Structure 1
Amino acid sequence: MRWPRQLMSLLVVLALLAGPPAVLLFLIGPPVSGWPTTKQVQAWVQQPLTEETLTAALTIGAWLLWLLLAYTVTVRAVTRLQATAAWLRQVPLPTPWQATASGMAGAAVFGVTTHPVATAPPQPPPASAAGTSEKPADTNPTPDDTAVSDDGILLPGGWLPRDTAESVAAATALLWLRRRRDYRPRPLTPNAPEAHTTRLPPAVTAVQAALADAPAPSNVPAPTDSFTALVRVLPTGGLSLTGPGTLPIGRGLLLTALLASHRHTGSTLVITRAALTDLLGPDAEPLGRRLPQLTIVEDPGGAIGLVEGVGPPRMVILAGEPFAADNTTHLASVTAANGGRLVVLGSWPTGQTWHAEPTGHLHDPTHPDTPVPRLCVLDQVTAIDLLTVIAHPEPTRLSPTTPRTPLAQTVTPGPRLPRQSNRGTPRLPPAATSQRLRLQVLGEPTLLIDGEPLIIRRSAGVQVLAFLAAHPNGADTRALTAALWPGLPRSSLPGRLYTTLSDLRGAIRSASGLHVIEHTDDRYRLNPAQVDVDLWHLHAAVHHAATSVTDTTTAWQAIRDAYPADLAAGRTWPWLAPIREVTRRRVIDACAALADGENDPRRALILLQGGVGIDPYNADLHARLVDVLTALGDHEAADQLHNRYLHTLAQVGIDDPSVGHRATTGTIASWNPLSRS
């Protein structure tokens, strides 16, 4: 235990501070009893070394030593107090959710009883004059942390019900699968721009990270999507929302309804142009045109014509403008008749008006005791971020200035150094005494020391190694924390990173005696002189093939041989998908190039089958494989391959690539994106 040692140290310091002065004062007296007289000075000059002068000199020296000790102790104490004060200033205060949870836990543990307090039901908002418009205030919920519970996820930009968050994660996984499906292999060229490999917005990665780290929900009733539950509780005759949560809830309704369009055949969302502008800003219309199943109209009349002439929408959202009451009432009735609901953002004198809270709660003044499910609430930036994962991709216009996610620069390892041990009995190295550590990130991330895997206790430590392997030039503290813990407040992350790195470095140093992770100018990087990374060998092979003018077949084959599995296979870290996709594409390029350069169709068939094994969702590889089988006269095998491919796409929620980017019905909810790489 530490406190006995600390108590003994305190007692020793107090004894050193109080003991010498007490002894000196008791035996000799104060160091100075007065200024010396003229006769005493003359006597000291004539005979300086006397018993009295020596005693006085020794006494003064003892007091000076004590003053030096007291000064040192005081400085150390002040420094400790300043450090403690600085640490206390950085300790984050509990959020309202944490404070509430702590209070409830304390009440449960100590048996605190409370007396019920009668509270008045929420008052309805004041009535507005007929024909006037009440613009809702845009109060955006902006929590400082990402919190996960059984019923939802709290983000820095709002709150999502659990099933809505899972639908966002599923849509994100489908987005990457569609990118894999649509990629066309091409010749290897250095620094070639990449289409559709940019990282997803921060809100999306925050949802992914929260779901990946969250335990399975407990005590949850039978699954039902939040949109279906919403339609059940909203009044059939239409609803008007007023209050500070109108626009945040409106954005949540927009996202929830569009995610539901992946699950319901023929479901659509109709919204007025004014409502779309109020929710997403003045530049939202281009995004709105790319959102599937979203139709933009000018007024209720246009919505009525769409509902009656095209099909039943699941929901119609109108802005709070002075539309004709008859048209709005008629729109509400025809929408409800087709299983949908009308929601007006603002006042609607002839319809029901509910009060919207920024937390996502609705209050029906006519039935204050009727519970209403908490709705999704989003601020404008978060809503746009989450909607991008279900929007059709923008047309690709590649140019030398197009942003891309290139492979990292090839690292040339330094000279191999022998392993050393800094404590205990050193283990005998293998026959090759210059063996370095080997980090494998293609497949399951593993750090090998003399061929034996090192057990890394923290999962974040494994992620740090993989991230630095994918960034050979290193990364600073901000980049590392943003990648490992998206959505969490920046102030709390440096300490978490330092703890992870300290534990990781200590484990590697204890097992090998090597300092693998360097830290210079706030940049962390793997030391290429002490660790061998399989991904770097793949980078070198790609760079060599892209710049080679002779013996290209050997260079392409070297890429294929250096790729045993996907980058960090099975891991769902949000930062990983773009780098993994670019790496996979380069290997597919090599497989296609090898097949194109092969004169023997059967050999080309084997090469293309290897490419399909690397990416079973790529349409171009399957088309090439079908062509080769057809050329060999095996039409039955070609048909079977094509049918299997369509079945594979349907299983994960993707339809025939010739139909575009529309997901098949009923698959986005049933497929778990966290179970695939």
Structure 2
Amino acid sequence: MSLLFVLAFLVGPPAVLLTVIGPPIRGWPTTDQLRAWLQQPLTEETLTAGLAIGAWLIWLLVAYTVAVRIIIRLRATTAWLRRMPLPTPLQATASGMAGAAVFGITTNTVTTTPPEPPQPVATGTAAFHDETAPKDHRDPAAREDGVTVAGGWLPWEVAEQVTAAAALVWLRRRRDYQPHPTHPDDTDLTPLPPTVTAVQAALADAPTTPPSDRTAALLEALPIGGLGLTGPGALSVGRGLLVTAVLAGQRHSPTTLIVTRATLVLLLGPAGETLGRRLPLTIVDTVDEAAQPLQPAGPAAEEFSPGQRPDEPSSGPNHQTIVLLNEHDGDEEQLTRLAATGTATAALVVVLGERPDGPNWHANSTGHLHDPHHPNMPTPRLCVLDQTAATDLLTVIASPDPAPPGLASERPPLPNAGPPKLSLPRQVARREPPHLSTPPRQRLHLRVLGDPQLLIDGEPLTIRRSAGLQVLVYLAIHPNGADTAQLTDAIWPGLPRHSLTGRLYTALSELRSTIRTASDLPVVNHSDDRYRLNPAHIDVDLWQLHATIHQAAANLTHTTTAWQAVLNAYTADLATTRTWPWLDPHREATRRRIIDLCAALAEKEPDPHRALQLLQDGIRIDPYNAELHRQVSWASTELQPWDRLTNNHG
């Protein structure tokens, strides 16, 4: 009916207008007609023509809107069909056997019970916990699709390396943080770039595996000695090659990367040179400088297997040196000489553009490479990235800026330096339920420290959708609430926001339905376009932790009792079993509030033994923090003379 109504609306008005009034334009007006119109503009004929033109414009607007909606639907359907996983041979065999068994039962008149069909064989397909997870992210058994982000596409091995680099960033921030009792420094808690969080989200629900060692193998698909890249995807492939090579160099120490300054600016923009200084690569100005690190190990013929052509993919060891430049970095003679040197040393020389001595492969926008002289050869697919995505990934891979000199050599504050002044998160106004004579209603408890769970009278409630659980944890961390945009950006990073509102509403509806089935208490309130947890009906362990920290910071006379209360409240890291990308800044901020309090109490503690114990407790909270280890070492050294003095007095 909707289709018939749309067709009638598109066909009916033009037919009526053409039949009653005729076409909107019957030719250009003559001079006499223009003169008559200027003398008397409002006539029956001109008003009719104006109304007809307005009707035609309205119809064109409606037709344009319908056409745009149809194109969007077609694109979505096409993308869904491309992502729809095809059955593996084992799955097809199992399905065929099951189908044959079914048809055999319906057509066979034998009354004996047929044998049960064989159980399906596990094929290793990733079982995502959230049905809204991207369907093109597979497990190691089906990694050919890789990970799609807003700025391009990454092979699964490269995505794993990016995730490992992101985790290393947070470990580095934990190591370098300086616990301070009065002015905590949280300037380094900024979230990672959007491209990185999108990759993390894609791998969040996938099976946890160590980063693959096949990153360097992606480069082995290229011919020995290198090649030239032409086509619309040359620069995108060049950026992906830059990221892949840097990651391969981090896991495979023999791999080095040499890039010209002009190529780095061409790929990454004006900020490329500044970023390049923080990356494990060698930046040169000319082609001759790029050839200097290449030391020939022998005749070029020794580098090839018998019968192997120079333009065939390498099957030997990984390329130890990669040179990345563009066709304008040097003249034909220089590029040819560099290519010969690269072939002699088994280096991979990649020219973004036409290479004088060949081979030249065509790179399309999806990252597929094609050798025009050997069309039957397999076409490898490399990482493709736009400038923004490549910069995001390299920013995470790059080494951090050096710390100001002298910061790490300062002595920790002496005891009794002053009262601690902690900047604590805003507390949620806790309201006690009214006292009733009837039996108490069910009480809900949300546990976000450790494995997130919603408990009803101590019993865990199963929340099927990962998005629903993320909403609960996000609102627990943000007691003042969050709007739709904040929730969708956190749960589904890197995806268009307008396409995620329906997912959020579905997750919230199912979450409320699940809670309503077990309890009639309203947990998630929605007002002023903001979602909030109702503190009158739900307890959150994170809120209790914040209150305990506040009380401990104010109680400086009984440090042992106050600190023990904090340790009892801090049962584990924030959602420690989850790898949601948006969690990292909040998890680290919560951990820092604990070790800040530890430093504050240790500074105020007059007993050196107790101060040392407080610092050791802080190390158990965050064993990666270098400053806590330094303070423990200093406190242990200072404690020895104090012990001797105590023994002498005794």
TM-score normalised to the size of structure 2? 0.68
SS at match of 2:501: helix
Q: Which residue of 1 aligns with 2:6?
A: none
Q: Is the 8 A contact 1:408 1:471 kept in 2?
A: no
- Please give the per-residue CA displacement for 1:587-608, whole angstroms capped at 9, x wherever unaligned: 0112233333334444334323
Q: Which of residues 603, 612, 615 is equivalent to 2:622?
A: 615
Aligned to 2:176: 182
Task: Map 1:323-342 onto structure 2 (within 5 A).
Answer: 323-342=330-349
Given the superposition, is the C-alpha separation of residues 597 and 169 from structure 1 closer, same or farther in structure 2, using an over 3 Å criterion?
same
Deviation, 1:394, is 3.2
Quick one: which of 416, 421, 426 aligns to 1:409?
A: 426
Q: 2:374 aligns with which of 367, 370, 374?
A: 367
- Equivalent in the alignment of 1:263: 251
Shift of 1:228: 3.0
Asked whether the 8 Å contact 1:188–1:545 carries over to 2, the reply is no
Matched, 1:99 2:81: yes
Letter paired with 1:623: R
Aligned partners of 1:359, 1:226: CA distance in 2, in Å? 18
Aligned residue for 1:304? 291
1:502-651 aligned within 5 A: 502-543=509-550, 548=554, 551=557, 553=559, 558-630=565-637
Query: For residues 107-186 of structure 1, what are the structure 2 equivalents within 5 Å?
Result: 147-149=136-138, 150-151=143-144, 152-186=146-180
Shift of 1:395: 5.2
2:186 matched to 1:197? no
How far apart are the structure 1 equivalents of 2:228 and 2:585?
42
In the alignment, what sits opposite 1:235?
Answer: 223
Give the Cα separation in 2 of the matches to 1:570 and 1:103.
Answer: 29
Matched, 1:295 2:282: yes
CA spacing shift, 1:494–1:467, aligned 2, 3 Å: same
User: Which residue of 446, 449, 459 maps to 2:456?
Assistant: 449
1:582 deviates by 0.8
C-alpha RMSD over aligned residues: 3.6
Please report how far the alpha carbon of residue 160 of structure 1 lies from its aligned counterpart in structure 2 after TM superposition: 0.8
Letter in 2 for 1:199: P
How many Å apart are 1:573 and its aligned residue?
A: 0.7
Give the 3 Å change call, closer, same or farther, for CA 87–417 of structure 1 in structure 2. farther
- SS of the aligned residue for 1:154 comes to strand
8 Å contact from structure 2 (residues 320, 347) kept in 1: yes
**Any conservation in 2 of the 1:419–1:514 contact (CA below 8 Å)?**
no
Amino acid at match of 2:151: G
CA deviation map 1:426-458 (0-9, x unaligned): xx95xxx37742222111212222333222222
SS in 2 for 1:389: helix
2:217 counterpart letter in structure 1: T
What SS is found at the alignment partner of 2:455? strand
- What SS does the corresponding residue of 2:389 show, helix, strand or coil? helix
2: CA distance, partners of 1:494 / 1:631: 59
Contact 1:199 1:578 in 2 (8 A): yes
Aligned to 1:226: 215
Structure 2 CA distance for partners of 1:168 and 1:101, relative to 1, 3 Å: closer
Deviation at 1:555, TM superposition (A): 5.7
Q: 1:471 to 1:100 in 2, by over 3 A?
A: closer
CA contact (8 A) 1:416 1:434 kept: no
Supply the distance in 2 between the matched residues of 1:549 and 1:103 (Cα, whole angstroms). Answer: 60
Given that 1:560 and 1:590 are in contact with CA atoms closer than 8 Å, whether structure 2 keeps it comes out as: no
1:389 aligns with 396
CA contact (8 A) 1:559 1:590 kept: no
2-side partners of 1:328 and 1:268: how far apart? 20
Deviations 1:452-492 (A, max 9, x none): 32222222222111110001111111111111122333233
Q: Distance in 2 between matches of 1:87 and 1:323?
A: 50
Structure 1 residues 48-107: Cα deviation after superposition (integer angstroms, max 9, x where no partner): xxxxxxxxxxxxxxxxxxxxxxxxxxxxxxxxxxxxx99999867435453246696799
CA separation in 1, counterparts of 2:572 and 2:231?
53
User: How far, CA to CA, are the matches of 1:482 and 1:322 in structure 2?
Assistant: 42
Q: Matches of 2:429 and 2:387 in 1, distance apart? A: 46
Equivalent residues of 2:447, 2:541 under 8 A apart: yes
Quick one: distance in 1 between partners of 2:359 and 2:603? Answer: 66
CA distance in 1, matches of 2:137, 2:576: 25
C-alpha separation in 1, matches of 2:490 and 2:79: 25
Report the CA distance between 1:264 and its aligned residue: 2.0
Larger radius of gyration: 1
* Structure 1 match to 2:64: none
C-alpha distance 89-158 of structure 1, shift in aligned 2 (>3 A): closer
Quick check: 2:213–2:251 contact (8 Å CA) kept in 1?
no
Q: Tell me the secondary structure at the aligned position of residue 355 of structure 2.
A: coil
Instruction: State whether residues 411 and 536 of structure 1, in contact with CA within 8 Å, keep that contact through their aligned partners in structure 2.
Output: yes
Amino acid of the residue matched to residue 570 of structure 2? Y
Change in 2 beyond 3 A, CA 1:412/1:339 = farther
Amino acid at match of 2:455: L
1:277 paired to 2:284? no
Task: Say if 2:258 and 2:282, in contact at 8 Å, map to a contact too.
Answer: yes
- Give, in angstroms, the shift of residue 613 of structure 1: 1.6
3-state SS of 2:251 partner: coil
Pair 1:388–1:418, CA change in 2 (3 A): farther
The answer as to whether partners of 2:263 and 2:325 remain within 8 angstroms in 1 is yes
CA contact (8 A) 1:195 1:396 kept: no
Amino acid at match of 1:298: D
Distance 1:419 1:317 in 2: 75
Moved more, 242-251 or 613-622: 613-622
Aligned to 2:203: 211
CA contact (8 A) 2:525 2:533 kept: yes
Query: Post-superposition shift, 1:527?
Result: 1.3
The whole-number CA distance in structure 2 between the counterparts of 1:229 and 1:319 is: 21
Structure 2 distance, partners of 1:470, 1:92, is 40
Alpha-carbon distance between aligned partners in 2 of 1:419 and 1:388, rounded to the nearest angstrom: 58
In structure 1, how many angstroms separate the alpha carbons of the residues matched to 2:574 and 2:450? 6
Displacement of 1:225? 1.6
Change (3 A) 1:533 1:198: same
Please state how far the C-alpha of 1:147 moved relative to its aligned partner.
Answer: 2.8
**Which one-letter code corresponds to 1:379 in the other structure?**
D
**TM-score, scaled to structure 1:** 0.65
Question: How far apart, in 2, do the equivalents of 1:574 and 1:364 lie?
Answer: 39
Cα distance in structure 2, aligned partners of 1:158 and 1:315 = 22
For 1:61-72, list aligned pairs within 5 A: none
- CA gap of 1:525–1:365, structure 2 versus 1, over 3 A, is same
Distance 1:481 1:418, change over 3 A: farther
Given the superposition, is the C-alpha separation of residues 324 and 535 from structure 1 closer, same or farther in structure 2, using an over 3 Å criterion?
same
State the match for 1:317 in structure 2.
Answer: 324
Instruction: Extract unaligned runs of 5+ from structure 2.
Output: 1-66, 97-133, 297-318, 405-422, 642-650
Offset at residue 275 of structure 1 (A)? 0.8
Given that 1:517 and 1:525 are in contact with CA atoms closer than 8 Å, whether structure 2 keeps it comes out as yes
For 2:237 and 2:492, the matched residues in 1 are separated by 27
CA distances 1:477-519 after superposition (whole Å, capped 9, x unpaired): 1111111122333233211111111121122233232111110
| Structure 2 letter corresponding to 1:206 | A
Change (3 A) 1:87 1:351: closer
